[in-house]
A and B are shown apart, each in its own frame.
Chain A
Amino acid sequence: MHMIRKLSTIGCITLMLAACSPADREEEPVPQQVRPQAPQRPGDVSGTQVGTVGGKQITGAETGQEIPARNALGVMIDEFGVPHHKVFYFDYDQASIHQEDLDTVASHGQYIASSPSARVRLEGHTDERGTREYNVALGENRAKAVQRILQLQGVRPDQVSVLSYGEEQPVEYGHEADSWALNRRVEIIYESR
Chain B
Amino acid sequence: MIEKNHKYKPVLAVLLWMVCLAPGMVRAAMEIEITRAGLSALPIAIVPFGWSGTGEAPSDIAAVVANDLQSSGRFRALDRQDLVATPDSGAEVKYANWRLSGVDYLLIGRVDHVRNDDYTIQFQLLDVLRQEHVTGYNLSVRNGHLRQAAHEIADIVYEKILNEKGIFSTRIAYISTLGQGDDRVYRLQVADSDGQNPVAILTSKRPLMSPAWAPDARRLAYVSFEDTKRSAIFIQDTRDGSRRKLISRTGINGAPTWSPDGKKLAAVLSHSGNPEVYVIDAETGQASQVTNNPAIDTEPDWIDKNTVVFTSDRSGSPQLYEVAVSGGRAERITFEGRYNASPSVSEDGSTIAMVHGEGGQYRIAVIDRPTGLMSVLTEGSLDESPSFAPNGGMIMYASESGGKGVLGAVSVDGSVKQRITLKEGDVREPSWSPLLQ
Q: Residues of A with Cβ closer than 8 Å to B?
A: 93, 121, 128-134, 136-138, 140-141, 161-166, 168-169, 173, 175
| Contact status A140-B252, CB under 8 Å | yes
B123 to chain A, nearest CB (A): 42
B299 touches which one: A129, A131, A141, A168 (CB < 8 A)? A131
Seed contacts A133-B254, A137-B298; 10 additional CB < 8 Å A-B pairs? A130-B318, A130-B357, A132-B210, A132-B384, A133-B298, A134-B311, A137-B254, A137-B296, A163-B230, A168-B207
What class of interface size applies to chain B in its complex with A? 35 or more
Interface residues of B in 193-251 (CB under 8 A from A): 207, 209-210, 225, 229-231, 250-251
Q: Per a CB cutoff under 8 Å, which of B355, B382, B385 touches A175?
A: B382
Contacting pair A165 B268 (CB below 8 A): no
The CA-CA distance from A6 to B252 in the complex, in Å, is 51
Select one of B210, B251, B339, B362 contacting A133, CB under 8 A.
B210
Let me know if B251 and A162 touch, CB within 8 A.
yes
Contact indicator per residue, chain B 32-54, by CB within 8 Å of chain A (1) or not (0)? 00000000000000000000000
B403–A134 CB distance below 8 A = no
How many angstroms from the CA of A164 to the CA of B341 in the assembled complex? 19
Q: Report the separation of the CA atoms of residues A129 and B383 in the bound assembly, to the nearest whole angstrom.
A: 9
B275 within 8 A of A: yes
Q: A-B pairs with the 10 shortest C-beta distances?
A: A131-B342, A168-B207, A133-B255, A137-B296, A131-B341, A137-B275, A133-B299, A133-B298, A137-B298, A131-B355
User: Could you name 12 residue pairs across A and B whose Cβ atoms are closer than 8 Å?
Assistant: A128-B382, A129-B357, A129-B360, A129-B362, A131-B384, A132-B385, A134-B298, A134-B311, A134-B341, A136-B268, A136-B298, A140-B275
Q: Residues of A contacting B298 with CB < 8 Å?
A: 133-134, 136-137
A169 contact from B207, B299, B429, Cβ within 8 A: B207
In the complex the two chains form, is A131's CB within 8 Å of B296's CB? no
Complex CA–CA separation, A132 to B178 (angstroms):
18
A170 nearest in chain B by CB position: B180
Given contact pairs A168-B209, A175-B382, A134 touches B299 in the complex (Cβ within 8 A): yes
Type the 1/0 row for B312-356, where 1 means its CB is closer than 8 Å to any CB of A.
010001100000000000000000000101100000000000010
> Are A175 and B403 also in contact (CB < 8 A) when A121-B229, A137-B268, A161-B229 are?
yes
**Which of the residues A134, A138, A175 comes within 8 Å of B342, measured between beta carbons?**
A134
Kindly state the separation between the CA atoms of A166 and B313 in the bound complex, as whole angstroms. 16
B300–chain A nearest beta-carbon distance, Å: 9
**B246 CB, min distance to chain A CBs, angstroms:** 16
Across-interface contacts of B400 in A (CB, < 8 A): 175
What's the Cα separation between A106 and B277 when bound, in Å?
32
A163 touching B362, Cβ below 8 Å: no
Question: In the assembled complex, which residues on chain B have CB atoms less than 8 Å from the CB atom of A136?
Answer: 209, 252, 254-255, 268, 298
- Which residue of chain B has the shortest Cβ distance to A189 in the bound complex? B228
Q: Which residues of the other chain, A, contact B313 by a CB distance below 8 angstroms?
A: 134
Residue B270 lies at the interface, judged by CB distance under 8 Å to chain A? yes
Chain B contact residues: helix, strand, loop or mixed: strand
- The reply to whether A137 and B252 form a contact with Cβ atoms under 8 Å apart is yes
Question: Which residues on the B side are within 8 Å of A93 (C-beta)?
Answer: 317
Q: Give the number of A-B contacts (CB < 8 Å).
A: 83
- Given the known inter-chain contacts A134-B296, A175-B382, please indicate yes or no for A140 contacting B268, CB distance below 8 A: no
Give which listed residue, B230, B270, B318, B429, contacts A134 with CB less than 8 A: B318
Decide: B180 and A164 in contact? CB cutoff 8 A: no
Q: Name A's interface SS.
A: mixed
Name the residue of chain A whose CB is nearest to the CB of B400.
A175
**A131→B385 contact, CB < 8 A:** yes
A165/B270 contact (C-beta < 8 A), A131-B355, A133-B298 known: no
Indicate whether A163 sits within 8 Å of B229 (C-beta atoms), given known contacts A130-B318, A134-B341, A173-B180. Answer: yes
Residues of chain B within 8 A of A128, CB atoms compared: 382
A173: chain B residues at CB < 8 Å are 180
Least CB separation from B384: chain A residue: A131
Bound state CA distance, A85 and B229, in angstroms?
22
Please pick, from B230, B231, B296, B299, the residue contacting A138 in the complex, using a CB distance under 8 A.
Answer: B296
- B270 near A140 (CB under 8 angstroms)? yes
In the complex formed, the residue of A with least CB distance to B270 is A140
Task: Note all chain B residues with C-beta closer than 8 A to A130.
Answer: 318, 339, 341, 355, 357, 362
Q: Could you tell me the distance between the alpha carbons of A35 and B180 in the complex, rounded to whole angstroms? A: 28
Q: How far is the CA of A130 from the CA of B298 in the complex (A)?
A: 13
Complex Cα gap A42–B429 (Å): 32
**For B180, what are the chain A residues with a Cβ–Cβ distance below 8 Å?**
173
CA distance in complex: A169, B342 (Å): 20
Quote the shortest CB–CB distance from B248 to chain A (angstroms): 12
Q: Output the least CB separation between A43 and chain B (Å).
A: 14
Bound: A169/B179 CA distance, A: 12
CB-CB under 8 A from B357, the residues of chain A are 129-130
User: In chain B between 288 and 308, which residues have their CB closer than 8 angstroms to a CB of chain A?
Assistant: 296, 298-299
Task: Name the residue among A136, A168, A175 with the largest chain B CB count within 10 angstroms.
Answer: A136
Whether A163 contacts B231 in the complex (CB less than 8 A), given A132-B385, A133-B299, A140-B275, comes out as yes
Interfacial chain A residues near B355, Cβ < 8 Å: 130-131
